[in-house]
Structure 1
Amino acid sequence: MNSDLYKAAAKGKIEQFEKLATDEFRSIVTHKKNTVLHVNIIASYTQNKEGESVSTKFVERILEMCPSLLLQVNAKGDAPLHAAAKCGHAAVVEALIEFAKKQPHQELESGVKSTARHMLGMKNDEENTALHEAVQSGSLDVVEILLKADPDFPYSANGSGETPLYLAAARGHKKISAEILQKCPLAAHEGPNGKTALHAAVCSGSLGVIKLLLDKKEGLTRERDQHGWTPLHYAAYIGRLLDSIRLLKADKSAALIADKDRQMTALHLAAGQGNVGVVYIILDYCPECCELVDDRGWNVLHFAMVSFYRSDLKDLVGEYREVKNLIFEKDVKGNTPFHVLAAVCPHPGNAGYDIVPWKIAEGYYQAVNKQNISVEHINRYRFPELEKEIEKLSEADGSGNYPDGVVKINKVKKRVIYSYWKDLDEDVIGMEKASEYHLVVAALIATVTFAAAFTLPGGYKGDTEDDPNKGTAILSKNVAFQAFVISDAIAMVLSLSAVFVHFILSLKLFKKLIFLFVFALCFTLVAMAAMIVAFVTGTYAMLATPSLWLAIVTCIIGMTFFLLVIFMFCMVISKAEVISKAKEVISKAKEEEFED
């Protein structure tokens, strides 16, 4: 295709093509075998990205001159309808279909006599039909036109095994999914690797699409992919709380289905990934799934010991009797859940007493596995074999059915799970670092205020040797000066108090007394405010008599410190209100999801 014809096709100028013979149109193609129709459709998409209407006159006129271009494909196997669907040109798609319907019935290569049906079923090199392309581009208008053209057309999967409904669900296109389900109630829902559209909707996180699919195809809750995963498995592994609620409301028994690779249920996956909320939801809907174990004999508590925080473990054992009864259950190697906990977080001493009642803790501490290794032994001397097993389960290969690993080791809990004081150490470490900076600020304030006390504004009396008030402050009877002296004394005393507290906190005996750190912080903040007051009052005392306006301006500038503090507090309060409102919205959304 020469450059003049290409530009004419791109701009929709029909004049240069009216002189051509019908046979010439088929041979006028680009190096990618795009015909003048392809060029016009693609170019008009580029020029009208803002959603402007696209003229169909050029397309209609070219088809009148050469009807065979309707089905001519380019190098990628795209017919003009594919190109229009990709670009989301609803008007062009409708024009192509209307032209196809006017063509006389004839026996085509596909065996279909209707040109319109043949065109709708044409597949490109990726085996996508025009509907596949429209769904991928997210064009609802085009989807509506294509479905209306032939509601009974049996759209099959493309080369990747994806049906149009699966593509819509995978992309979270709620309106497109609704359109397909409404116009084609029997639309195929299959996807690659045995997945269904419901699997795809869960992975995309589209609660609206999930609701649509469950309303029309409720049986999909028990459909399993090639690994044996149901949609609930994916919701549990990813941590989709609301999706899990919707799936369990539709079918509680899905929580009892185990996968093919490791015999893991959705409860095992949620516990292994540390998705506490999903674990609680599954237990609320289907408590009997606690009885199930994976191929190693691990129950939900084995997995929770690896990934849960100490407080979450305590709540899980305390709130669910079914879970509490699993404390002494052993896997195929005789390891109880607390063997796993000790392997993840080895720590000497009476560990774990704050997770379960004392009497239970006494029992588990001496429990032994098939190798006669107790929890106490692991706490004191470790257990490399079990540690390596857990570490291997946590390895993320980035592919397959466990892209983030079978379990997710809680690194924070690994250091601090056993002890309240260990939890406190995390705060103490942060406190020690902050204390260093606070000490510098407090010492600076103390130095400045101490120096100001002996460099008084206005100077001292000392002109006459016989003056009984020699050496006293000249402005001692000035009210502003008196305020300066008082505020300066307050700032110095409080800052020195803060320095003393930080010194005390540096001693190992007192490092865990966080309330002392809070006191020091309050002392420093008040000392800052007192130092500003001292500056303002001292400046006013010196400048008020010779230049009142300068004294006032200087005071106003100094007081802007308090405006800044007030502004910051307002911002914090405002942010807290926004977070509170957001939580209310989320709470209402959850309540709505629980309503039928």
Structure 2
Amino acid sequence: MMELMKNKQFSSQQDEGSQAQADLLHNELVGEKKIMISGMENFVDVLEIVLMRKNVRGDTALHVAVRSKNSTIVNFILNKYALEKSKHEVLEDKEITKETNKYGDTPMHQAAVYSVVNEILTVDEDTQLPLCLGYFPLHAAQPYKDPGILPLLYMDHGHLKTPMDSDEARRKERCSKRMEELKNTQFSSQDAASQQGLLHKELVGKKKVMISEVYKAVEKGDVDNFVDVLKQQCAQRKLPLSDIFEHVTGTGDSLLHVAVALGKEHIAEIISHHFPELLTRRNVRGDTSLHVAVRSKNLTMINLILSEYASVKSKHDGMKDITREKNEQGDTPLHEAVHSGNFGVVEKILHADKDMVHYVNKSRCSPLFLAAASENLEILNLLLPNPFLGDKPLPLCFGNSPLHAAILKRNPALIEMILKKQPELVYLRDEDGNTSLHYAAYVGYVKGFHVLLKNSFTLEENKEGHLPIHLASKMGHVEVIEEFLQYEWSINSHVLNQKGQNILHVAANNGKSNVVQYLLRNPKIDQFTINQKDNDGNTPLHLASINLFPKVMYFITQDNRTKVNLSNNTGLTARDIVCLASKNQMTVRKFLANRVLKEAGVIVKVNNVLRYQYQQVSKTHLSLKDLINTFLVVATLMVTVTFAAAFTVPGGVYSSDDPNPKNRGMAIFAHKRLFWVFTIFNMIAMYSSVIACGLMLMALIFDQKLATRATILAMSCLVLAFLTVPVAFMAAVRLVVAKNSTLALVITIIGAIYIFLILGLLFGFFPVGIRIFPFRQVGKLVLWSLIVLIDYEDKPALSSSQKASNEKENYE
């Protein structure tokens, strides 16, 4: 490939090959700061093509070498280029030191920032290079005040001290003098003095709104016109110049904010020079002029503001760095730079203050975190090498780890890249003590969890004592748990949280039935783990009972290894806890939980529970009386309906003037079999309802114990009535449409379906404790159907059972 490129003319295929070589050379320079010179020999054979090639940022190999601060490579490239230039005609009209990237920077501009100026000057002493958006290398170096760089740029190059042409210099000097005259000829008013230190939103409240003529002058961008307008307004309004610059827009922007936002460099320069206090003045959003310049991606303005502020700061001790100013959202200029996605802007702000990489805003996000969240690898590579503060190598800062952002973005390539460059970040914790493994487990990101698990050699708890697998169990992420269990961990002794709970405890406590089902099927989960007690003596079944998760309780009780009658430290079984939870009001959730435990043979071990419930008779009497009244109304309605149906039979009756005296008043369909079905089932419903009514009336005068039993018996009669009425109704409708076979078939199918559903519910309520095969199996099927249909995944809003052990102590 190399020989082909040396011996043939440039073609599209060669261009692609040379671009690949250039990209490879750039990558080597970026990736290895101590690259060996011998390794470059593969590239220098095609210097006339490769060294002048540019990457996506417009950088040549010399740009990249300068930015890596490797003076050996810089000298090597410059010397080789000089040698090759004499051999190849294609390089005669080109100077590698004067090549610009897409930001307008030459190698000298970047050398001024990265402190390798001397190397460039050895081959090219002309520092008046192509402008970088209006600025020379001297301007680029100014904000950093490097004592070793500035003299080199000034040395024997006096013309650089005034880089603008003579007309521009005279204009600048003239406008500056006029501004000084305006400042000196005007008297400071008391009103102006009273505004010192006010925020711009306070100035807006005091109606110090910017003069429209001044705003338009800034928009125009002519400095002479701007000064003329200022002079005119000062004279007309009898205001000192300082008062004019205290005026703000409706959003609290000062004149400097406006000039920066509109990109008027010359006006921004004269304002910041004569009124430097505006550099740190904030608008209603809390933005300084540097925030605005960064958001506008204006490198010229950024350089101007940094340079002017550095000049002011050098004259006053104790001034805060402008790069550390925060707006109302807590964003620094570096936050805004990362938000902008502009590499050049981020680079400028970063080199002005590298410590800002780890500052967090009010959303608890650092610039490093935002760079990872935006998946901008170029900016991330720039920010990653910056270490944490020396006294806190791994601080507890929520959102400060780029790994957390990569996990939230579910980007495995990004995770691997970060770990390759900064492997210690895998142990970085947030304010709650969560590492990146905790994050991956919490959000259920399996690929990321796998990558992190390979790079993490220890299991660490967060502040609540949870390991990553506990969070996966809590959130119901089976895939993460499966990945975790593939490694050889000791489940019983090490994977416990501070409460002494294993992963089955955590899953049961949070109602994650999918995790419980998976763990019970996993061979690593033995009988000890299933019946293990936590610090309070609660097994997973106890915790599921405390929070009333019927589905979880069902899975645990159906496992033959479960010891269902274990007691916790307060002597309560799982059913004791559910009974205490049900003492005030029986809900469907509590009913299902109790049914599951009763089916599994869990006993009510504590007699005090029953005695306590009996002592609450006076409290529950009112609710029982209301229940009796409700059932009495329902039973009465059922009697009325069935009684009326008996005298309004389907098909009607023969009239009183029928020719056959024997038929008069008789049912027309009396000879039909379906009429028999209608009549029999209607009578059963009628008599059952009457019995229920009688029992309810007697329950009103019985004592509590007899009233309860009477109510239960009445409920049984009403259930029987509700079961027979649909059959009678179906038979009646089927009877009157008998001649329409299709309609009759549809009615029969619909009726049969609903009858079977009612039968299922009936057998689901009553076969508990009955060991007869069909009843028991039907009951289990109905119970499971109800549990699946009503799948509770959240904890009860008012869970009185959570303090069951305390309640037991209260009534003992």
TM range (shorter): 0.5 to 0.7
- The equivalent of 2:266 in structure 1 is 60
**Equivalent pair of 1:131/1:164 in contact (CA under 8 Å):** yes
- The equivalent of 1:219 in structure 2 is 424
Equivalent position SS for 2:529: coil
Equivalent position SS for 2:569: coil
Determine if the alignment matches structure 1 residue 332 to structure 2 residue 535: yes
Deviation by residue 1:93-112 (Cα, 9 ceiling, x = unmatched): 33431685599967625769
Deviation by residue 1:167-200 (Cα, 9 ceiling, x = unmatched): 434xx1110x651433551244977756632474
Deviation at 1:5, TM superposition (A): 1.3
Give the stretch that moved more between structures: 331-340 or 280-289.
280-289
Deviation at 1:219, TM superposition (A): 1.5
Equivalent position SS for 1:321: coil
Determine if the alignment matches structure 1 residue 280 to structure 2 residue 499: no
- Match of residue 279, structure 2, among 72, 89, 109: 72
Deviation at 1:150, TM superposition (A): 4.7
- The equivalent of 1:197 in structure 2 is 401
**Equivalent pair of 1:26/1:35 in contact (CA under 8 Å):** no
Q: Distance in 1 between matches of 2:348 and 2:308?
A: 16
Determine if the alignment matches structure 1 residue 295 to structure 2 residue 498: yes
- Match of residue 3, structure 1, among 209, 212, 215: 212
Q: Distance in 2 between matches of 1:121 and 1:204?
A: 27
**Equivalent pair of 2:260/2:301 in contact (CA under 8 Å):** no
Q: Distance in 2 between matches of 1:311 and 1:21?
A: 73
TM-score relative to the length of structure 2: 0.40
Equivalent position SS for 2:279: coil
Deviation at 1:311, TM superposition (A): 5.4
Give the gaps of 5 or more residues in structure 1: 45-55, 388-409, 421-491, 514-596
Give 1:103-182 correspondences, 5 Å limit: 108=314, 120=323, 128-135=331-338, 137-141=339-343, 143-147=345-349, 150=352, 155=357, 157=359, 160=362, 163-169=366-372, 172-175=373-376, 178-182=378-382
**Equivalent pair of 1:178/1:212 in contact (CA under 8 Å):** no
Deviation by residue 1:288-321 (Cα, 9 ceiling, x = unmatched): 3553322332211112223355554232211241
Q: Distance in 2 between matches of 1:149 and 1:68?
A: 26
- The equivalent of 2:748 in structure 1 is 500
Give 1:397-546 correspondences, 5 Å limit: 496-508=744-756
**Equivalent pair of 2:437/2:452 in contact (CA under 8 Å):** yes
Deviation at 1:270, TM superposition (A): 2.1
Flag the 1:309–1:355 CA change in 2: closer, same or farther, 3 A: farther
- Match of residue 31, structure 1, among 248, 251, 256: 248
Q: State the one-letter code of the partner of 2:212.
A: S
- The equivalent of 2:433 in structure 1 is 228
Equivalent position SS for 1:297: coil
What is the aligned residue count? 389
Equivalent position SS for 1:9: helix
Q: What is the percentage of aligned positions where both structures have the same residue?
A: 20
Deviation at 1:510, TM superposition (A): 7.1
Q: Distance in 2 between matches of 1:289 and 1:353?
A: 18
Q: Distance in 2 between matches of 1:65 and 1:351?
A: 76
Q: Which has the higher contact order (CA 8 A, sep 6+)?
A: 1
Q: State the one-letter code of the partner of 2:291.
A: H
Q: Distance in 2 between matches of 1:110 and 1:276?
A: 61
Q: State the one-letter code of the partner of 2:266.
A: E
Q: State the one-letter code of the partner of 2:424.
A: G
Deviation by residue 1:481-528 (Cα, 9 ceiling, x = unmatched): xxxxxxxxxxx7555433211101121467669xxxxxxxxxxxxxxx
Flag the 1:30–1:243 CA change in 2: closer, same or farther, 3 A: farther
Flag the 1:60–1:191 CA change in 2: closer, same or farther, 3 A: farther
Q: Distance in 1 between matches of 2:216 and 2:595?
A: 70
Give the gaps of 5 or more residues in structure 2: 1-209, 232-239, 600-739, 762-812
Q: State the one-letter code of the partner of 1:332.
A: N
**Equivalent pair of 2:272/2:305 in contact (CA under 8 Å):** no
- The equivalent of 2:226 in structure 1 is 17
Deviation at 1:201, TM superposition (A): 1.4
Flag the 1:211–1:19 CA change in 2: closer, same or farther, 3 A: farther
Q: State the one-letter code of the partner of 2:496.
A: V
- The equivalent of 1:367 in structure 2 is 566
- The equivalent of 2:386 in structure 1 is 186
- The equivalent of 1:250 in structure 2 is 455
Flag the 1:296–1:14 CA change in 2: closer, same or farther, 3 A: same
Flag the 1:353–1:139 CA change in 2: closer, same or farther, 3 A: closer
Q: State the one-letter code of the partner of 1:278.
A: V
TM-score relative to the length of structure 1: 0.53
**Equivalent pair of 1:267/1:279 in contact (CA under 8 Å):** yes
Equivalent position SS for 1:186: coil
Deviation at 1:415, TM superposition (A): 9.5
Deviation by residue 1:72-103 (Cα, 9 ceiling, x = unmatched): 23235744222122xx322x233431685599
**Equivalent pair of 1:263/1:295 in contact (CA under 8 Å):** yes
Q: State the one-letter code of the partner of 1:174.
A: E
Q: Distance in 1 between matches of 2:592 and 2:216?
A: 66
Q: Distance in 2 between matches of 1:299 and 1:64?
A: 68
- Match of residue 509, structure 2, among 269, 292, 306: 306
Q: State the one-letter code of the partner of 2:449.
A: S
- The equivalent of 1:81 in structure 2 is 290
**Equivalent pair of 2:369/2:401 in contact (CA under 8 Å):** yes
**Equivalent pair of 1:252/1:286 in contact (CA under 8 Å):** no
Equivalent position SS for 1:288: coil
Q: Distance in 1 between matches of 2:479 and 2:591?
A: 19
Flag the 1:219–1:288 CA change in 2: closer, same or farther, 3 A: farther
Deviation by residue 1:40-92 (Cα, 9 ceiling, x = unmatched): 444x4xxxxxxxxxxx4x2235425763457623235744222122xx322x2
